[in-house]
Amino acid sequence: MKSDIKKLNILVDRSIHLKTKESRILKKYYQAEEDVKNGHPAAAAVLLKLRLQKCRDRIKSNEIEANKLFKNIK
């Protein structure tokens, strides 16, 4: 029970970190999209989009794991 609570706290901290990271990547992605419209190469936008998707996948997997732990604690 205590270990589940500890793991849940770690997942919450990690989720906060990932949400912040997602926000920073999203800001850079929007800037890269504007740069593409202005004639710059699209490589940066593509790479940022991949990083954004990877970050969102990690957030989703953390949420799933946290829900499982939360059900075990109840």
Output the six-digit token pair for 20: 């912040």
pLDDT the model gives residue 61: 95
DSSP state of 1: -
Domain ranges of the chain: 2-73
pLDDT the model gives residue 19: 95
Q: Is the distance from CB of 5 to CB of 73 less than 8 angstroms?
A: yes
pLDDT the model gives residue 73: 78
Q: Please count the other Cβ atoms lying within 10 Å of the Cβ belonging to residue 58.
A: 16
pLDDT in tens, the chain (74 residues): 678 888 888 999 999 999 999 999 999 999 999 999 999 889 999 999 999 999 999 999 999 998 888 888 77
pTM: 0.80
CA angle 38, 41, 42 (to 5 degrees): 95
